[in-house]
Amino acid sequence: MIDMMEPGDPVITEEEAAQYDRQIRLWGLDAQKRLRGSRVLLAGLGGLGAEVAKNLVLAGVKGLTLLDHEKVSEESCRAQFLVPVMAQGENRAKASLERAQNLNPMVEVQADLDRIEDKPDDFFLQFDVVCLTGCSRDLMVRVDQFCSQRSIKVFCGDVYGYCGYMFSNLGQEHNYVEETPKLVRVTGNDGPEAKKVKVDPNETTMVKKTVSFCTLKEALEVDWTTEEAKARLKRTPVDYFLLHVMLKFRTDKGRDPDPQNADEDIELLRQIQNDVLEAMGVSSDLLSDDVTSYCFSEMSPVCAVMGGVLGQEVVKALSQRDAPHRNFFFFDGRKGSGMVDYFGPK
């Protein structure tokens, strides 16, 4: 069941009602109140993180914590619009704080300069949503497992050149409402027995629904040797396997592919690609030989698309309004298209 707003829940002031008027008209007052009472942790203030931060601040969450220990580099300035040009060498979260806050003074935005790897588990208990970008596979799995056991919603995402992905874990039972066309009964000329059901184009009704999610670990550890998995392989987006390659590169090298070292990193990516696909029990032909050459840097247009999708999914999860993406979204900038697909236990 969808929780009703309790007496102690956030109250929307007249000023906030004016600020969020369009959103309230779009998804309702209760949904905006849920957003207004939510705190979000955003780890990683690269190009994707900046886009997500912008969207969450404008949506009107209660508080947004920007967590990043990295320094602003020339590379990060190309896709990170929250960082001033003269901020190179400064902490990325701190350098992003002022512009993020100026987007919406009603949201409490703060910067945390620590390494997320150094944060104890109970640090995450203060948040309703944890959004991880630019993190290692092991860290994402650890945080996701801890948060999912405590009803904290988790999102992960990254942009690799022309490609991007988003993962969500909203728990074993995520409740939401969805607006659907209203069905009405009409009586024909042949009496009561001739009653029929049809869609009324002028009326809608809110339907309560529930959907379940799995952990990131389960989603990444699909057994591709089973007959069911083999049958599904032809319908599986290759981006899922590319994600495994990119996460393995980050684990092995402690960084993402570097444009300044492109030739060497492309060769290393191809080697990792062969090793990863072999270990997963799938053909090396699933990924083309040149795919890894498109995976360098965070491209601003891809960050904008992925940040829009990821930010909107966080808003949907917190407001409990509309069906969420379950559980991966992949975007290919070369084709200009995206795909939602589910991986993990049914």
Between helix 239-253 and helix 137-148 the angle, nearest 10°, is 110
pLDDT at 186: 67
Mean pLDDT of 203-231: 93
- Residue-level pLDDT at 5: 41
> What are the angstrom distances between the C-alpha of 127 and each of 41, 154, 251?
6, 10, 27
Confirm if 153 and 132 have CB atoms less than 8 A apart.
no
Structure tokens at 63: 């508080």
Identify the band that residue 26 occupies on the pLDDT scale cut at 50, 70 and 90. confident
pTM for this entry: 0.91
| C-alpha torsion 299→305→307→312, nearest 10 | 180
- Band of the pLDDT at 4, cuts 50, 70, 90? very low
pLDDT reported for residue 195: 61
Q: Would you say residue 82 has pLDDT above 90?
A: yes
- The mean pLDDT of the chain is 91
Q: Is the peptide bond before 102 cis (omega within 30 degrees of 0)?
A: no
User: Is the pLDDT score of 344 beyond 80?
Assistant: yes
Per-residue pLDDT band at 206 (split at 50, 70, 90)? confident
Q: Is the pLDDT of residue 270 over 80?
A: yes
Buried b (16+ CB within 10 A) or exposed e, 123-148: bbeebbbbbbbbbebebbbbbbbbbb
Q: Considering only residues 112 and 75, tell me which one the structure prediction assigns the higher pLDDT.
A: 112
Tell me which of 20-24, 27-31, 186-190 is least confident.
Answer: 186-190
pLDDT for residue 85 = 85
| Tokens 């601040």, located at residue | 57
- Residue 182 is predicted with a pLDDT of 78
Share of the chain above pLDDT 90, in %: 75
Q: Which tens digit of pLDDT belongs to each residue from 277-327?
A: 999 999 988 998 888 889 999 999 999 999 999 999 999 999 999 999 999
Per-residue pLDDT, averaged over 65-88, amounts to 90
Q: What is the pLDDT of residues 115-156, one digit of tens each?
A: 999 999 999 999 999 999 999 999 999 999 999 999 999 999
pLDDT category of residue 18 using cuts at 50, 70 and 90? confident
Helix (H) or strand (E) holding 265: helix 262-280
pLDDT of residue 154: 98
Confidence of residue 2 (pLDDT cuts 50, 70, 90): very low
In residues, how long is the chain?
A: 346
Cβ atoms < 10 Å from Cβ of 260: 8
What is residue 285's DSSP assignment? G
pLDDT tens digits along 242-259: 999 999 999 999 999 999
The 10s digit of each residue's pLDDT in 158-199 is 999 999 999 999 999 999 999 888 777 766 655 555 567 777
Taking Cα atoms as reference points, which of 155, 157, 161 lies closest to residue 78?
161
Q: What is the mean pLDDT of residues 211-233?
A: 94
Q: What is the mean pLDDT of residues 63-85?
A: 91
On the question of pLDDT at 219 being above 80, the answer is yes
Q: Where do the domains of the chain lie, and which CATH numbers do they carry?
A: 14-172+299-341 (3.40.50.720), 174-208 (no CATH), 219-294 (no CATH)
For helices 262-280 and 239-253, the axis angle rounded to 10 degrees is 120
Query: At 168, phi and psi to the nearest 5?
Result: -135, 145
Higher pLDDT, 346 or 216: 216
For residue 123, the model assigns a pLDDT of 98
Q: Which amino acid is at 288?
A: S
Least confident of 87-91, 109-113, 178-182, 275-279: 178-182
